[in-house]
Amino acid sequence: QVQLVESGGGLVQAGGSLRLSCAASGSIFSINTMGWYRQAPGKQRELVAAITSGGSTAYADSVKGRFTISRDNAKNTVYLRMNSLKPEDTAVYYCNYGDGRRGYWGQGTQVTVSS
């Protein structure tokens, strides 16, 4: 089992910034991918950004140039730095861990961007 604990969500004005953190614990494989997904009301959950244990990253087109994903493998923690936030970024953000055999989700953290 892997446990994921997210933090850093909140309310911010458009144009502002937030940083999300997700700390993983438990049976963590050294080779894994961690990422952030989001789900807005009435919409499907979508990938925001992901990063492998080797440091390769991927981003949704809608956040490229504004969001940066990073990780600290020693702390089993992944971060999402969100700049130039827009009202359409409002959603519950979920941390995800996957290692090819197992996948786990965090409980989610709310990000609300006011216009």
pLDDT of residue 33: 97
Per-residue pLDDT of the chain (115 residues; tens, 9 = 90+): 999 999 999 999 999 999 999 999 999 999 999 999 999 999 999 999 999 999 999 999 999 999 999 999 999 999 999 999 999 999 999 999 999 999 999 999 999 999 9
* Cα distance between residue 104 and residue 64, in whole Å: 25
Tokens for 76, please give them: 């089993």
* Cα distance between residue 45 and residue 1, in whole Å: 23
Tokens for 100, please give them: 């090819």
- Residues 6+ positions from 7 with CB-CB distance below 8 Å: 20, 21, 22, 23, 109
